[in-house]
Amino acid sequence: MVDRSLAAQDVMAALEAFAPQARPHNSDDLFDCWGLVRQVHAQLLGRGHAEELLGHKTAKSGDWRLLGDRADLVVGDVVGTHPCAAPDERHVALYCGRVGDNHLVYDSSPRGDIPLFDKYGDLIGVREICTCYMRATAASDGLRNQGGAYLRLWDGRDLYFSQAVHRLLLLGAPDGERDTRAARAAAGLDPLPFYCRRRLPRDARGREVYDNSSSKHQQYYVPDAALLRDGLYEQVCKEGEVGLLAARPRPPAFDADAGRAAPGGGRVFTWTYGDAGVAGCRVDVYEETLHSQKRLVLSEELPGPVTAFTVPGRALREDTLYAFVVFARNAAGYSRDAVSTFVYRAAPGSPLLDHNRARPYSLRPDDGAVVATLTPTLSWEIAKPAADQVSFRLELYAEACWEQDDRPLYEAKVEGAAADSYRYKVPPLAGLEPGVVYYWYVTSTNARGRDCYAPAEGVFVVAADAEAGGVGGEGLA
C-alpha cells in the first residue's frame, strides 16, 4: 500500500508541468482522461507507486466510493462517472477545488464548459467550446483536433471518487484544501490566470474554437490573452479584450546570434523590444518530449526591460530539442510569444538537426472567410523561403478535416520554380461548389527533402452565389 502523502499544491504544480492551467487544452491529445490522471500521479509518486495507487481502469471497483457531498472533496481528488470497473463510457477528472460556490475539475476530453472569472474569483460566465486547435509539435508529427487537457466546471456526472487518493491527500493536510486559488497560490501559480477570453472564432458548425490563427505556424501554442493577470479579468469582461490587447507590447525580436553557446555550457539568448515602456518580461524554456506536447524546464519573471538570458547547462539534456520562449510585459499585460528552438549538444547524425521545424503561416483565405469564386487563390508565408520550401503539397477537403482520414477532394504537388510563389489558384477541375465549407492544407518540403512537422490549415466558405472566375472575397490575397 502506498503510504506517502500528497499535497494539493503539488497536484496543481504537476498539472502545470506538462499541461499549463492558463490554457484550456495543452497536452496535444496524447492523454485520454485516465492517462492524464496517471501522468500526474506518476510525476508525484513515481510510476510504480502511481500504478499501485490507481491500478488500471478495469481493476476492481472497491476503492471507488459514491460521493455523498461535494464539500467532502479536497483539491487533488480523482473523481469519475462510474466505479473503476465500469464500461468504456467511464470518464475521470482531477478535482481542483472551488472558486466561491463553483466546483472545478481538470479534464482531458474534446470539449466542456469553460469558466470565466472576475478579479475577485467570482464566476461571471461559462461557455461550451470545442477544443479543436489543429496543433502539432515536432514530437507528435501529426495534427490533433479532438481535444486536450483544460480546467472546466464540474458538470455533475462525476459521482464517484478514489478513496486511496483521498486518503493520501488528507495525510498531507488533515483539514484538506478546498480553495482553488489557495492551492494555485501555494504552488506558485497565482500569477497565471484561469482561461478568460470572451470572444472566440467559430468553426464551420458555429462552435467556438479556442485557437490563435496568427500562431498556427509556431510549435508552441500560446493563445492571445492566456497570460492576463488576475487584476485584469474585470476589465476584459466588461470592455472586451480588443482595446486591452492593442495596448499590450509587441513580441520581442531575437538577435541574429540568439541561442549561441554560453561559456561553461548552456545557451545565451538576446533580443530587442519593439515598444517603449516595457516593464519586464517572462521567460519559459520547454523540452519537447514524446509523451506530452511540452515539458516546462524553467520559468522566470524578469524585472525591467531585460534583453538577455542564459539557460544554464545543468537544466538541459544532451541531444534534446528545446524551445526558448520570451514575452514582453507592460501595464496592459504580456505580448505574444517569441520562440527560438534549439537542440542542445546534438549527437552526431541526430535526426533533430535534420528535422524541418518550419511551417507555413498567415494562410489566406482562413478563419471561415467567404470567397466569391469557385477558383480561389490560396496563399501563405514561410520564414526562410529559399531553405524551407523547395516544393509543397496542397490538399483540399469538403466539410471535413485532414485528420478525419477522408480522401481529399483535390490535391496537387508543386516543385521547382513554381514553388517559389507561395500561391496556388484552385482550378475548375477541383469541383468547388457554392455554400460549401472547405478545409485546405499546405505541407512545405525543405531543401533537405524533409516535410514540415505538420500541414498548416486554412478554412474558407464558398459564397452561395459564387461563380467560376469571380472576384475573391475577404481573406484572399
Over residues 222-270, the pLDDT tens digits come to 444 344 554 454 555 456 555 666 788 888 989 988 999 999 899 999 9
* Cα 3 from Cα 388, distance rounded (Å): 54
C-alpha cell of residue 155: 458538470
C-alpha cell of residue 400: 471535413
What was the pLDDT predicted at 222? 41
* Cα 458 from Cα 445, distance rounded (Å): 18
Cβ 391 vs Cβ 419: under 8 Å: yes
What was the pLDDT predicted at 375? 95
Residue tagged 499585460 (cell numbers): 333
Domain pair 250-354 / 361-467, same fold: yes
One-letter-per-residue 3-state SS of 207-235: CEECCCHHHCCCCCCCCCCCCCCHHHHHH
Confidence band (pLDDT; 50, 70, 90) for 293?
low
Residue 215 above 50 pLDDT? no
Cβ 339 vs Cβ 220: under 8 Å: yes
- The pTM assigned to this predicted structure is 0.61
**Topology, domain 250-354:** Immunoglobulin-like (2.60.40)
Cβ 133 vs Cβ 209: under 8 Å: yes
Range list of H helices, 385-433: 385-388
Task: Report pLDDT digits (tens) over 80-126.
Answer: 888 866 566 788 899 999 877 778 888 877 666 666 666 566 666 67
Smallest CA-to-CA distance from 39 within 159, 195, 156, 149 is with 149
Written out in words, the top-level CATH class of the domain with range 361-467 is mainly beta
* Cα 97 from Cα 110, distance rounded (Å): 22
Task: Report pLDDT digits (tens) over 166-199.
Answer: 999 999 888 889 988 888 888 877 665 555 555 5
Smallest CA-to-CA distance from 111 within 11, 8, 33 is with 33
Give every CB contact of residue 348 below 8 A, 6+ residues apart in sequence.
Answer: none
E strand or H helix at 303, and its extent? strand 295-303
Q: Which amino acid is at 103?
A: H
Cβ 398 vs Cβ 410: under 8 Å: no
Tell me how far CA of residue 27 lies from CA of 218, 291, 379, 445, in angstroms. 16, 9, 30, 27
Residue 44 above 50 pLDDT? yes
What was the pLDDT predicted at 290? 47
Determine the average pLDDT of the residues in 358-367: 80
What was the pLDDT predicted at 218? 41
Cβ 127 vs Cβ 208: under 8 Å: yes
What was the pLDDT predicted at 248? 80
Determine the average pLDDT of the residues in 400-419: 80
Domain boundaries, the chain: 8-215, 250-354, 361-467
Residue tagged 464539500 (cell numbers): 71
60 or 154, greater pLDDT: 154
What was the pLDDT predicted at 139? 40
Q: Which of 34-43, 316-325, 445-454 has the lowest mean pLDDT?
A: 445-454
C-alpha cell of residue 128: 461550451
Smallest CA-to-CA distance from 438 within 455, 424, 457, 459 is with 459
Smallest CA-to-CA distance from 221 within 309, 300, 325, 343 is with 325
C-alpha cell of residue 215: 500562431
* Cα 130 from Cα 290, distance rounded (Å): 25
Taking only Cα atoms into account, the Rg of the chain, rounded to an integer number of angstroms, comes to: 24
Residue 130 above 80 pLDDT? no
* Cα 445 from Cα 453, distance rounded (Å): 10
Confidence band (pLDDT; 50, 70, 90) for 456?
confident
Per DSSP, 395 falls in state E
